[in-house]
Amino acid sequence: MKRSVPTTPVFTLPRRRFLQTTALAALAPRGWTAPAKVPRTPTALATCNRYEYSTIRTKLAAMFDQIGGVRQLVKNKFVTIKVNLVNSPVHIWSGLPIPMTTVTHPDVAKAVASLLHEYGARQIVFCDQLPFDGDARDDFKRYDYHIEDFQRLTDGKTVFENTRNKGRHGAYDLAKVPYGGLVASAWEVNQSYTRTDVLVSLTKLKSHISGGVTLGMKNLFGVPPSSMYGEDGVDEPNENATGYRGKTMHQSTHKPSTSVDTFLGTTVEDDHGYNVPRFIVDLNAAFPVQLTVIDGISTISTAEGAWMNNMVEVCRPNLLVAGLNPVCTDAAAASAMGFDPDAPDETPPFSNGTNCLRLARELGMGENRLENLDIVGEPLEKVRYTFQPTYQR
Closest CA to 365 of 37, 69, 67, 80: 37
Look up residue 343 and give its DSSP letter: P
CA–CA separation, 361 vs 351, rounded Å?
Answer: 19
Q: How far is the CB of 5 from another protein (least distance, A)?
A: 41
Minimum gap (Å) between residue 151 Cβ and another protein: 26
Smallest gap from residue 16 Cβ to another protein (A): 42
Query: How many chain residues interact with another protein (CB under 8 A)?
Result: 32
Contact flag: residue 34 with another protein (CB under 8 A)? no
DSSP string for residues in 162-213:
ETTS-TTSSSEEEEE-TT--SSBSEEEEEGGGTSSSEEEEEEE-EEETTTEE
Of 21 and 94, nearer to another protein (C-beta) is 94
Please, what is the minimum distance in Å from the beta carbon of residue 335 to another protein? Answer: 13
| Nearest alpha carbon to residue 359 among 194, 175, 199, 213 | 213
Give the binding range for another protein (CB under 8 A) out of 7-15, 163-171, 310-318, 361-369.
310-318
Taking the complex as a whole, the smallest distance from the CB of residue 244 to another protein amounts, in Å, to: 20
126, 145, 172, 387: which one contacts another protein (CB under 8 A)? Answer: 387
Q: What x-and-dash track marks residues 37-56 binding another protein by CB under 8 A? A: ----------x-xxx-----
Residue (20 or 49) nearer to another protein, CB: 49
Q: Least distance in Å: CB of 389 to another protein?
A: 6
Alpha carbon distance 206, 213 (integer Å)? 6
Is residue 370 part of the contact set for another protein (CB under 8 A)?
A: no
Q: Taking the complex as a whole, how short is the minimal distance between the CB of residue 29 and another protein, in angstroms?
A: 33
CA 384 distance to own-chain centroid: 22
Among 23, 34, 268, 314, binds another protein (CB under 8 A): 314
Count of all residues that appear for the chain in the document? 393
Instruction: Tell which positions 141-180 bind another protein, by CB under 8 A.
Output: none
Q: Which residues contact 141 (CB under 8 A, 6 or more apart)?
A: 147
Interacting stretch for another protein, rule CB under 8 A, among 118-126, 146-154, 155-163, 303-311? Answer: 303-311
Q: Does 316 bind another protein (CB under 8 A)?
A: yes
- Is there binding between residue 89 and another protein (CB under 8 A)? no
CB of 311 to another protein, least distance (A): 7
Q: According to CB under 8 A, which residues from 330 to 349 bind another protein?
A: 338
Cβ atoms within 10 Å, residue 180: 20
The CA distance from 92 to 63, in Å, is: 31
**Per CB under 8 A, 308 contacts another protein:** no
Q: Residue 161's closest CA among 124, 215, 194?
A: 124
Q: Mutual orientation of helices 106-118 and 53-67 as an angle, nearest 10°?
A: 50
Closest CB to another protein among 50 and 75? 50
**Rule CB under 8 A: is residue 311 a binding residue for another protein?**
yes
Alpha carbons 138 and 310: distance in angstroms, whole number:
30
Q: Are 349 and 308 in contact (CB under 8 A)?
A: no
Question: Sign of the CA dihedral 380, 217, 226, 268?
Answer: negative
Which range of residues in 110-118, 160-168, 240-248, 385-393 is near another protein by CB under 8 A?
385-393
Q: Among the candidate windows 86-94, 225-233, 238-246, 327-335, which touches another protein by CB under 8 A? A: 86-94
> How many Cβ atoms from other residues are within 10 Å of residue 91's Cβ?
15
- Regarding 100 and contact with another protein (CB under 8 A), the answer is yes
CA of residue 6 relative to chain centroid, distance: 24
Question: What are the residues facing 203 on neighbouring strands?
Answer: 294
Residues at the contact surface with another protein, assessed by CB under 8 A: 47, 49-51, 92-96, 100, 298, 302, 309-311, 313-318, 338, 382, 384-389, 391-393
